[in-house]
Amino acid sequence: MSQYKVRLTDTTLRDGSHAMRHRFTEDQVRKVVRALDDAKVPVIEVTHGDGLAGSSFNYGFSAVDEMVLIQAAAEEANQAKIAVLMLPGLGTITELKEAHLRGAKVVRVATHCTEADVSIEHFHAARELGMDTVGFLMLSHRISPKELAAQARIMADAGCQCVYVVDSAGHMIMEDAADRVSALVDELQGDAEVGFHGHQNLSFGVTNSVYAVRAGATRIDGTLRGLGAGAGNSPTEVLAAAFERLDIETGVDVNALMYAAEEVLRPMITRMPIMDRASIMQGKVGVYNSFLLHAERAAERYGVAAHDILAEVGRRGYVGGQEDMIIDVAVWLQSQAR
């Protein structure tokens, strides 16, 4: 019997939406969900990249209403649960209730790593709906393991059943992830599970996920082909193959996952995330990964380098939700160059 057992969540149709500029169609969602479901992936996340109600001028408009996509996903899934992401202050309990009516069974409530208290009413509402509740502590590298554990306790006490260490910038390296996961495990003492969400900016997404499992994480995120914000996420099919090699039980069909990645998703991809100068800079200085496309657009408009914008964003300590301030940075850099 394996020493470790992990529940994989595939977030291609949410985090991958960033790389697709939120242009997934209903037909594409149905095809990806069918392939992931056939591969026995237990949880599939579907929303705009920035969660419920994310389709907006600030974050980018979706091609298809996310409620339509959630319902389509739920109709295609035979064994998988459909999850949605929500950021308090953007998505509301009204959207959560509609997503639940459309078939969502899991909600992942995301806050900045120091602001867990803004999630409390959302967890209460989700538990009343009978949903599986997950907390996302974004940019988890920004605070110490002990401080992060205290924030996780707030979520768990509010009814969160699993709290994630979220490496939103792909900044963590090995013990950075393990120490935070271990701190949460010690704090929660079985009151909630612990998960890990990794990105590939410094090419440590899969490695960090292994370290997280060995530190006590029981839920791990990935996306097919690593499709996602910044340099992309830990690839689900690579996670599954690596976990199989390491005798970490997932219950998924690795060959079916590779088919889903190569034959189903790849033809849909309009932009493949890569570890280029800008995305490496995000990992280096710890900048929220969804900032990348916003920085690239600002760079083109104002004639400054995207990696310089991101370096300055990191210096200023911007967090998720401050995408509009990227323009201010670009304008400032332009003025400095004159």
- Of 51, 57, 49, 125, whose CA–CA distance to 90 is shortest? 51
CA 218 – CA 196 distance, rounded (Å): 8
Phi, psi of 190, rounded to the nearest 5 degrees? 85, -5
SS3 call for 185: helix
Report the relative pairing of strands 4-5 and 7-13 from DSSP bridges: unpaired
Using an 8 Å Cβ cutoff, are 275 and 235 in contact? no
Using an 8 Å Cβ cutoff, are 47 and 82 in contact? no
Is 18 a catalytic site residue? yes
Binding positions for Mn(2+) are 15, 197, 199
Number of residues in the chain: 338
Using an 8 Å Cβ cutoff, are 306 and 31 in contact? no
Using an 8 Å Cβ cutoff, are 169 and 131 in contact? no
Q: In 250-324, where does DSSP find H-type helix? A: 254-259, 277-285, 291-302, 306-316
- Of 185, 164, 177, whose CA–CA distance to 205 is shortest? 177
- Of 18, 34, 37, 15, whose CA–CA distance to 26 is shortest? 34
CA 79 – CA 194 distance, rounded (Å): 23
Binding positions for substrate are 14-15, 168, 197, 288
Annotated catalytic residue, options 18, 48, 122, 294:
18
Binding positions are 14-15, 168, 197, 199, 288
CA 64 – CA 149 distance, rounded (Å): 37
CA 250 – CA 18 distance, rounded (Å): 26
Rg (Cα) of the chain, in Å, rounded? 18
Using an 8 Å Cβ cutoff, are 146 and 181 in contact? no
Sign of CA dihedral 204, 221, 197, 283: positive
Residues catalogued as catalytic: 18
